[in-house]
Each structure stands twice: as C-alpha cells, then as structure tokens.
A and B are shown apart, each in its own frame.
Chain A
Amino acid sequence: MLKEIRPAVVSFLLLTLLTGIAYPLLVTGISQATMSAKANGSLIVKDGKPVGSSLIGQSFSDPKYFWGRPSATGPVANNAAASSGSNLGPTNPALLDAVKGRVQALRDADPGNTQPVPVDLVTASASGLDPHISPAAAEYQLARVARLRGLMPEAIHKLVAEHTEGRQFGILGEPRVNVLELNLALDAAR
C-alpha cells in the first residue's frame, strides 16, 4: 500500500521539473532566439508603438473602414484579454435579434446596397478575436469604403487583394482577408 509512495513523490517531482520547467523554458529559449516576432505576438508596430497584432482582430464601426467579424467578448468587443464566443444556440431568439441588428447596421451604413450579407459578417466569431473576414465579406463592403474615402473602387480592390490570403499551401483552411492590416493600409494610402 505505502510501498509506492516514494516512487510517486520522487517521480512526480523530477518529471515536474522536466516537463513543467525545463521543457517550457527550452521552447521559450529557442523560440525567442529564432522566431521572436512570432513568439511575442506578431505585433504591428507603427512609430515605435504597437498598434495591434496581425493575428488579433480590432473593432471598426466607422463606415469608411472595413468592418470585421462581430465579437462577443465583454465588456468591449475584441477584448484580447478575455477571449470568448457568444455561445448563443441556433434557435435562441437573442441570436436572431443580434443578426437582425447587424444586418440593419450594415444596410444603414451603405444605403442602396441590397445584396445578401455574407454570413461571417453578421455572426460572432468563436474567439471574439477573429482577425479575418471572408473575401465575400470584403467584396460586400468595398463600394461603401471607396465612396466614403473618395477613392476609385479599383484602388481599394487592389488593396483588398494584397491583404487576402489564399488557402495555406493551396489546400488548407479558407481564403481570408486581414481586416486590421487592410484598414491600416487604407489609412496609409490616403
């Protein structure tokens, strides 16, 4: 009964040092030495100060910017210190109200655009921090952004294309547009 206590205690201690201290330190050391930008959050730096991460979404509600995925984090959307999805079930009336409100907000920002709204633009992401929208969602907003910025749609189209990633290795995942990077590029183009 008690014969196994010494091996339990000693192996627990030694293996904790190995897997709980040495292993994460080794991975940190190698990562920081060889891939520090990625290991530190893929930050976007402007004028020496971080303005976001290329992997973390930010909120945009000004119609002259491209809008990203709705976010269910609290107390503000895209709170990168407390990630969360909405967890609303498919038949929850609150979900339908939320989607209805988002469709309306998009329509109000761009009167006259009667195309169906791409689904990712009106549904909350899983993390609340999704940095991407689908190319369809960017296309939907393109004319609005061009008009409000007084730019030719072709110019915006070119910027969108530059910030669109295809499937990884041509096969994995989904094509997507990085919203923060695109909006920063829009501001820089002005």
Chain B
Amino acid sequence: MINGLLQIALYLGVLLALAKPMGAYMLRVYEGKLPAVVRWLAPAENLFYRLCGVDSKQEMRWTRYALAALWFSLLGVLVVYGLQRLQDLLPLNPQGFGAVTPDSSFNTALSFVTNTNWQGYVGETTMSYLTQMAGLAVQNFFSAATGMAVAIALIRGFARHTSETIGSFWVDMTRSTLYVLLPISTVLALVLVSQGVVQNFSAYEKATLTESVSYDQPKLDDSGNQVKDAAGNAVIEKVVVTEQTIAMGPVASQEAIKQLGTNGGGFFNANSAHPFENPTPFANFLAMLAIFIIPAGLCYTFGRMVGDTRQGWAILASMTILFVGFLAVAEYAEQQGNPAFTALGVDQNVSATQSGGNMEGKETRFGIVNSALFATITTAASCGAVNSMHDSFTPLGGLVPLAQIQLGEVVFGGVGSGLYGMLVYAVIAVFLAGLMIGRTPEYLGKKIEAFDIKMASLIILLPPLIILGGTALAVMLDVGRSSIYNPGAHGFSEVLYAFSSAVGNNGSAFAGISANTPFYNTALGFSVWAGRFWLIIPVLALAGSLAAKKRIPASVGSMGTHTPLFVWLLIGTVLLVGALTFVPALALGPVIEHLNMTSVH
C-alpha cells in the first residue's frame, strides 16, 4: 500500500519535473533555435529540404497545411498496405510468413497511420521483421510527428495575430522526427535492451523444455480431413511438445517509439505485457514516462509560445487532476479483486509477499499498482499499449480506460493530439463562461466567434457520433455480435470499447473480441480514419481562423484563463460533455456488470 503510493508519487514527480525541460527543448526545436545537442544535424535538415523541394521559410495557410498532412498520411496507408500484402516476397522474413489478408492489411495500415495501432492480428505469427520495422515502426514516427505538427500549428493560431499562415507542415514534421522522436528513441531503445528487451534479426529460437507438455487435437489424414472412428466421432490424437519456440525480432527499436509516440502497437500480441517488450519494472517505468513526456512538455511549450507560461501550467494542472482522479478509481477497483474468487479459497489480500487483487490478465512483476497505473496512462494518452489485459479488469477498473478514451484522450493525451484536444475544450469552456455572463468569449486575447465554436463543436461531437453509432450498428448485426467473447453486459463493453478505441485513436482493446473479421476490420478502419482526420481538419481550420484574428488587450472584464477557477471550469467542461454523451452507454456495460458482480456475491 505505502509502496504503491510511493511508486505513483515517484512517477508523477519525475514526469512533472521533466515537463519544463522537455517543453523548453521542443520550443527551441520548433522555433528553429536548435539546442546544442542536435545543432550539428542542421545541415542535414537543410539538405533534406533541398531534396524534397521545400522552402523552409515559406509558411502555409491552414488549408495547405492540412493537405500536406493528408498527402503524407495517404502515402503511409499505401506503403503499409503494400508491405503487408507483399511481405512473402520481401526480405527479413525468417519465419516465412505469407501475405496478410486484404481486410486486415487495410485495417492495420489505417490504424498505424492514424496513430491508433489497433491490432486485429497477432504480431509474432503474422508480420515479417521488414513489415514491422519499415512499415509499422516508421508510421509510429510519422503519425506522432504529424500530431505534434498539428498541435504546434494550433498553438501558433493562438500565439500569432493578423497572420495568414500557421507554419510549414514539412518543417514541423521533419523537426519533430529528427530532433525530438529519433534521438530520444535511440537512447530509450538501448536502455530497454539493457533491461532484456530483444533486438535481433534471428529466426525464432528453440529451447528444450524441462518438462514436456501435451495437448489434444483432432487427427487429420493425409489430405487434411478429420479422421472419424466407427461411430462417426472425430479421432483425437495427443501431441507431445518437447520444445519451446521463442519469438524474436528487432523489438527494442520499435518499443521505444511505440511509447514515445503514444502509438501503442505491440511487436508481440501481448504487447507491453510480453516479457521481451517489457521485462522489468524499470523498463515499465520508462515506458510510462515515455508515453506522457511529450504531451506534458507540450503544455509548457504552449505557455511559452503564447507568451504566458501560466496558461500552460493551467492546462497541465487540469490534466494532472483528472488523471489522479481516474487513477484512484482504477487502483482501488483492481486491488479489491474479484469477490467470486474469495469463495473459492483464493487469497487476494495485499501483503509483503504478494500484490493480491485481481491478477487475472496481469503480470507478477507489475502486480496491481503498475498494471492499473499503466492502464490509466495508456488510455489517458492515446497510446493503447497494454501491460495487462483490460478485458479481464474488474468492471470499474475497466470503466476507467473506457471513459478516458471517450472523453477524447485530453488527459495528457496523444503526442500533439492531447494538447490540441484540450485546447478545444478550453475554447468550449470560455464559451460556456461567456454565455453565463453574456460576454463575447475570449481566449488568450482572441475573440471566440461563431466559426471557431462551429469547428470546436465538430471536434467534440463527431467522435461520439461514430462511437455510439458504430457500437449500435455492431450490436444489431449478427456479424457484429458473433465476434463477442464474454457473455452478458461485458460483451457489450467489448464492442463499445472497440469503437471508442478506434475513434479515439487509442488502439487498446477489450481484446477478447475477435476483431480480425471483414466487418470489424472495415468498420474500425473507417472509424480510425474519421477519428483522426475529421478532427485534424477542423483543428487546423480553427488554427487558421485564430491566427487571422486581431489580438485584443486584456481588460478588467476578461476572464483569467490561468487561474484555479479556470482549471476547475475546464475540468468540469471535460467531465460534463463526456458524461452527457456516454453515461447511458456506460450504464449498459461496466455499470451493470459491476452491479451483477457485487450483488451475486
């Protein structure tokens, strides 16, 4: 208990202490005043622009900025799709995996390009090393860099006045990759290897088991048909396994950017629960830090760029308060364990020699504290990496990830997308406050007018429309229902989680659901795309509109947006909008299940 609180306090302490240096570093990167550690790369950056035919001084209007981001992403979809479809003909495929199916390739391509990393496939039995590193991991960089670029563009919208342009997408994206994502990933990957994360191109290793294991399977004849006995029953044969095949691969390099870019797509099926992705508590600590470091730092970058660091701290404070609240619920619910187990003679009490609690779908080295902490972090951000199986969480423990995704992942959030999502909520918050006192709302010296509110409303309303509409569609159709794994209310939660995760570009799952079907691959593929670009385009439109406005000086009637009052207003807005939208759906899933679980026992 005490140790658990200490671990959480240590995590938050280190994160918040790093927010300012990280934010200051990114500020210099985006303003082109490169910090000394990366200044030697500047000639390479300039050469890069020359080869691309980009004039780095030439800025873009928001429409052109959006178009550049779209072209870059569309290209990503084509390449990732192609790599999967052709991987059997390409090198670095020691296990000889065949081409991935068209619907799964489509889903995975969209999913990785949009920073979602929803995975319908099993990594270690599907993807060649080349597909993983040159397709999926590359999108981990690109989608993160795109998100960061869009966030910086929106900040410029607030920071500038009477400006036609909001920056250059190519410059922002390139600098994000070259100076932020790549150097940190390289260092992180090497530290992860030191903890035991694998990094090689070998074929899967074979180890002789100390004790052989066996399983039963229907016997097949030479042509692959089931053999039947005289009574017409399938003949069962016993298969004895004396070797363990251990999957390998270039994991550490992918793992680092997977967390840092809040992508979350695991090299292996079990994601960050797999000992080769996340072998030690320290590796786990670094992973959690990597997920939040850029989103937290960007708050400071934002404050500096708009000329008032208090504005950035107010946003960061709102995020932190929301996060601690959600974390407390998840930790408490998981530590309580499963009441049904106690009746079976199982000890779920925390003690010096065991973590206790609901350990189904959790790893011993992480226990309850680090599993619930990781789950809260990964869904506060749009990461979606998991070090425990959310599908096996207690109903309330599972409600936390689900609800955080549905709020739009604005609690720290994805790299870039978290900040631009929260800034949109800030616009809504000042609008609500303006309505209450009958004044034109202002934020950071910009009048918030009809067009801005329309864009903000689109950003707030589109995701619930697709999440709730998609869930409703899926549970009405046989093809939607037949993929459900757990019975009862929990089965509904699986579908709701799938659409929430896709639209929120999260990528985690209540993974019992069999999502690798044409229906889900298509429906969720559409959802991830809409959840990304139907938001990025209005965000950039908002940026363009704000940048063009005049700055009005603060007067006595202006509401301070750096005060504790505003922090609570912002938190209230996020929770209120989320609650009004999703409480009915949550009541049908986790809430009913919680009542079932606690009333039966």
- Please give the residue numbers on chain A whose beta carbons come within 8 Å of chain B beta carbons, in ascending order: 1, 3-12, 14-16, 18-21, 23-24, 26-28, 30-32, 35, 38-44, 49-53, 55-56, 58-62, 65, 69, 75-93, 95-96, 99-100, 103, 115-120, 122-137, 139, 167-169, 171-176, 180, 183-184, 187
Residue in contact with B276 in the complex, picked from A1, A55, A79, A117, CB distance below 8 Å: A55
Q: B344 to A123, Cβ gap below 8 A?
A: no
With a CB–CB cut-off of 8 A, which chain A residues contact B67? 1, 4
Residue of B nearest to A3 (CB): B64
Q: B362 to A31, Cβ gap below 8 A?
A: no
Alpha-carbon distance between A90 and B338 when the two chains are bound, in angstroms:
7
B215 to chain A, nearest CB (A): 5
9 tightest A-B CB contacts, nearest first: A173-B281, A87-B512, A126-B273, A83-B270, A116-B347, A85-B389, A172-B281, A174-B367, A136-B354
With a CB–CB cut-off of 8 A, which chain A residues contact B134? 16, 20-21
Which of B72-80, B99-107, B422-430, B560-568 sits within the interface?
B72-80
A190 to chain B, nearest CB (A): 13
Alpha-carbon distance between A6 and B75 when the two chains are bound, in angstroms:
11
Q: B346 to A19, Cβ gap below 8 A?
A: no
Alpha-carbon distance between A48 and B247 when the two chains are bound, in angstroms:
20
Q: B364 to A125, Cβ gap below 8 A?
A: yes
Residue in contact with B366 in the complex, picked from A8, A88, A173, CB distance below 8 Å: A173
User: Can you name 15 extra interface pairs (CB under 8 A) apart from A12-B72, A18-B177, A133-B364?
Assistant: A14-B52, A15-B138, A38-B196, A43-B205, A56-B276, A77-B213, A81-B125, A83-B274, A91-B490, A91-B593, A93-B487, A103-B345, A117-B346, A119-B347, A136-B354
Alpha-carbon distance between A138 and B75 when the two chains are bound, in angstroms:
53
Residue in contact with B360 in the complex, picked from A10, A124, A167, A187, CB distance below 8 Å: A124
Alpha-carbon distance between A36 and B56 when the two chains are bound, in angstroms:
42
Taken residue by residue from 353 to 380, chain B's Cβ proximity to chain A (1 for < 8 Å, 0 otherwise) reads as 1111111111111110111000000000
Alpha-carbon distance between A40 and B249 when the two chains are bound, in angstroms:
9
Interfacial residues of chain B within 463-507, with CB under 8 A of chain A in the complex:
485-490
Taken residue by residue from 187 to 213, chain B's Cβ proximity to chain A (1 for < 8 Å, 0 otherwise) reads as 001100111111111101111111101
Taken residue by residue from 134 to 161, chain B's Cβ proximity to chain A (1 for < 8 Å, 0 otherwise) reads as 1101100110000000000000000000
Given A58-B211, A87-B392, A119-B337, the answer on whether A80 and B244 have CB atoms closer than 8 Å is: yes
Alpha-carbon distance between A52 and B275 when the two chains are bound, in angstroms:
13
Q: A88 to B512, Cβ gap below 8 A?
A: yes
Q: B359 to A123, Cβ gap below 8 A?
A: yes
Given A80-B246, A85-B389, the answer on whether A171 and B364 have CB atoms closer than 8 Å is: no
With a CB–CB cut-off of 8 A, which chain A residues contact B241? 76
Q: B206 to A50, Cβ gap below 8 A?
A: yes
Residue in contact with A173 in the complex, picked from B76, B252, B370, CB distance below 8 Å: B370
With a CB–CB cut-off of 8 A, which chain B residues contact A15? 138, 141-142, 174, 177
With a CB–CB cut-off of 8 A, which chain A residues contact B354? 118-120, 134-137, 174
Is the CB of B457 closer than 8 A to any CB of chain A? no
With a CB–CB cut-off of 8 A, which chain A residues contact B318? none
Residue in contact with B52 in the complex, picked from A11, A58, A92, CB distance below 8 Å: A11
Q: A125 to B363, Cβ gap below 8 A?
A: yes
Q: A169 to B282, Cβ gap below 8 A?
A: yes
Q: A41 to B248, Cβ gap below 8 A?
A: yes
Residue of B nearest to A70 (CB): B360
Q: B76 to A40, Cβ gap below 8 A?
A: no
Q: B245 to A81, Cβ gap below 8 A?
A: yes
Given A52-B244, A92-B486, A120-B354, the answer on whether A167 and B3 have CB atoms closer than 8 Å is: yes
28 contacts between A and B (CB under 8 A): A1-B67, A7-B68, A14-B48, A15-B141, A19-B141, A21-B134, A24-B254, A27-B253, A35-B194, A38-B193, A38-B196, A53-B275, A59-B213, A60-B211, A75-B239, A78-B244, A80-B244, A80-B247, A87-B361, A87-B511, A87-B512, A118-B354, A120-B364, A125-B273, A126-B389, A127-B268, A129-B270, A133-B364
